[in-house]
Amino acid sequence: MGAKNLNGVLTSNVIAANRKSFAIPLVVAVTGHRDLLATEIPEIRQRVSDLLQGLANQYPDRRLTVMSPLAEGADQLVAEVAFELGIDLTVPLPMPKQLYLQDFETPAASEQFESLCARAKTVFELPLAKGNTVEEVSQSGPARNREYAQVGVFLCAHCHILLAIWDGKASDELGGTGQVVKFHHDDVMPGYASRSVASQQMLVDDESDLVYHIVCSRDREDGAPAAGLTPLDAFWFTKDRRQPRSKDLPKQHQLIFARSDEFSRDAVRQAETIEAEKYPLYQDDQSDQLPPGVANINRLFCIADWLAIHYQKKVLLTLRTTHMLAFLMGLMFILYTDIGRWPYFMVAFLVFFAVSAAFQQAAGRWGWHRKYLDYRTLAEGLRVQFYWAVAGVGSQNESKFTHDNFLQSQDAELGWIRNIMRVAGTECDANRVARPDGLAFVIREWIGDESSGQVSYFATKSRQRIRRNHVTERLGQLSLVASVVVVVIFLAIGSGLPEPWVDPLMAFMGTMLLIYAIRQGYAYATAEKDLIKQYEFMHRLFENARRRLDNASDAEEQRLILRALGGSALDEHAEWILMHRDRTVDQGEIWRMSS
């Protein structure tokens, strides 16, 4: 092969690898028994392979990843299948590696664990559970069980599908497979996750309950599966009241996965442009101030932020075009009724309507409005997630993470946004770091002052929206004055008004009113007045946060303030997406405005 061709191949390979890096992970976490029945293992491997291959085929624009702690039995089995299929492996260890190895019964099992770890893409140790010490965890007992409970909770919180190779029996064993599945469904793990916190989430229908259950037996006395279950059967298992077990992926989750896959596909398609035009949350020379793992959040933020801006431009183009066409439609009607009943005015009216309708159909078919709203909401959620991670802002409960605070009470369809966020902060959530320079970075870069950060951003946006609203109001006043003047002319001159003046004056009055109506319709579609209130509220919020941060007595108080600020920001973004969802213009609205 010539040098030129070789360079071309290498360039193509680099571009392909770069695009693949923009694909959003689809994470399958594993929980299962150690003592699988030897005669069932070949069939279990086949069920696992069928699941993973099916996901890879169905969602080719995602980056399929298996997350497994690599315990003996089910954990290692799934990891082996993943490697056979060329799927990446992430390994969260429930405790320091040397302590964890004590639970492997044979040298062969330990060697297999080491071999799988060496081939994994990422391996990290979770910090000791709250209240545990190395001495307590070094021996069997409640403390060590809490470490297994912690890794089970971590798996549930950072996966999209929980693969359970399980006999289906409920269990009182802290951190056991039965309890992990229960936590994934009900947000409750007695002895680890408190019921008071869980009760806030357990009544909410969301995307976090998806389990793929492969029924297995156990190599022990009374090792048969739970009554009603057949060994080697496999199905989706959710909290659905009517059909908790199904052979097909439940419709709610199909929609969640479709939205996530669409986002990943957009990211891969626009990879080169995003890389060239992105607006990162930090610069390369600032990376030494930041904890490990936040680069993953920043990368996803850059993708979501760029795509949101990209689709916002398309939405604004559609709105401006359709409102201009609505004006032209109204003008054609005015000319037809007040200037002359010439048929080409009505022909032009229909042409403008057809063009406007085509714009609307194209925007609806390609989902520009929905994508803009969803991607902007995702970007703002990732922004909070990033700054919380950098500042070392932790949850008040060890089983909760940033994505658990977002959009929980909103439309279940928006669960795909949490679905992305739950894998963005995996590495950060595994090892939450609280560093003084990270805290200073967040206060400077996120909060800022009147010339930087979000304080400056919301102040600037408020002024811009107020100026636009003043234009709308002045246009309304002008159209009112023009209409009054025309009416006064008719009243004052009456029949003395020359006939050639009557129709042009009526057309002028109608045109001025039409211009104001179109401008007012555009202001409504872009939520002009509502955004002024929102930007002013957010400006006050960040200003107050900055004042409180400057007067805080210590770093812990500053982190509490940042936690409250982030929670308020997440709530505001949730309200924003709901406010804007109905602000689009359909064909009926265009007809109404032009009339």
- Higher confidence at residue 436 or residue 50? 50
Share of the chain above pLDDT 90, in %: 41
Quote the strand ranges of 83-175, DSSP E.
Answer: 88-93, 122-125, 161-166
Per-residue confidence (pLDDT) for residue 505, from 0 to 100:
81
* Mean of pLDDT values over 223-250: 92
Least confident of 87-96, 201-210, 328-337: 201-210
Share of the chain above pLDDT 70, in %: 89
| Lookup result for tokens 């928006």 | 414
Per-residue confidence (pLDDT) for residue 164, from 0 to 100:
97
| CB contact set of 582 (below 8 Å; sequence gap of 6+) | none
pLDDT in tens, 378-409: 999 999 999 998 988 876 555 566 666 665 55
- Please say if the pLDDT value at position 293 is more than 90: no
Per-residue confidence (pLDDT) for residue 396, from 0 to 100:
55
For residue 249, is it left (φ>0), alpha (ψ between -120 and 50) or beta?
beta
182 vs 195: CA distance, rounded Å: 13
Per-residue confidence (pLDDT) for residue 130, from 0 to 100:
82
Per-residue confidence (pLDDT) for residue 404, from 0 to 100:
65
Per-residue confidence (pLDDT) for residue 120, from 0 to 100:
95
- Are 342 and 549 in contact, with CB atoms under 8 Å apart? no
Closest alpha carbon to 120 in 144, 92, 101, 154? 92
109 vs 117: CA distance, rounded Å: 12
Domains identified in the chain and CATH numbers:
23-250 (3.40.50.450), 284-394+432-594 (no CATH)
* Mean of pLDDT values over 284-300: 87
**Amino acid, res. 532:** I
* Mean of pLDDT values over 491-516: 79
Least confident of 51-65, 362-376, 397-411, 554-568: 397-411
| Lookup result for tokens 């089970």 | 152
> 94 phi and psi, to 5 degrees?
-70, -15
- Please say if the pLDDT value at position 165 is more than 90: yes
Alpha carbon distances (Å) from 479 to 90, 221, 336, 399, 402:
64, 87, 21, 59, 50
45 vs 165: CA distance, rounded Å: 10
* Mean of pLDDT values over 305-310: 96
Best-predicted range by mean pLDDT (407-416, 509-518, 547-556): 547-556
The per-residue pLDDT of the chain, averaged, comes to: 85
Q: What is the DSSP letter of 40?
A: G
* Mean of pLDDT values over 313-332: 87
Provide the residue count of the chain: 595
Per-residue confidence (pLDDT) for residue 303, from 0 to 100:
95
The whole-model pTM stands at 0.87
Residue 444: pLDDT band by 50, 70, 90 thresholds? very high
For residue 527, is it left (φ>0), alpha (ψ between -120 and 50) or beta?
left
Q: Which residues pair with 207 in a beta bridge?
A: none
- Please say if the pLDDT value at position 198 is more than 50: no
DSSP for 268-283, please give it: HHTHHHHHHH---SS-
Q: Report the chain's C-alpha Rg in angstroms.
A: 30
Per-residue confidence (pLDDT) for residue 10, from 0 to 100:
41
Q: Which residues pair with 189 in a beta bridge?
A: 193
- Please say if the pLDDT value at position 573 is more than 70: yes
Per-residue confidence (pLDDT) for residue 406, from 0 to 100:
61
Residue 6: pLDDT band by 50, 70, 90 thresholds? very low
* Mean of pLDDT values over 516-532: 83
Per-residue confidence (pLDDT) for residue 65, from 0 to 100:
95
Q: Is 410 helix (H, G, I), strand (E, B) or coil?
A: coil
* Mean of pLDDT values over 437-455: 90
175 vs 157: CA distance, rounded Å: 14
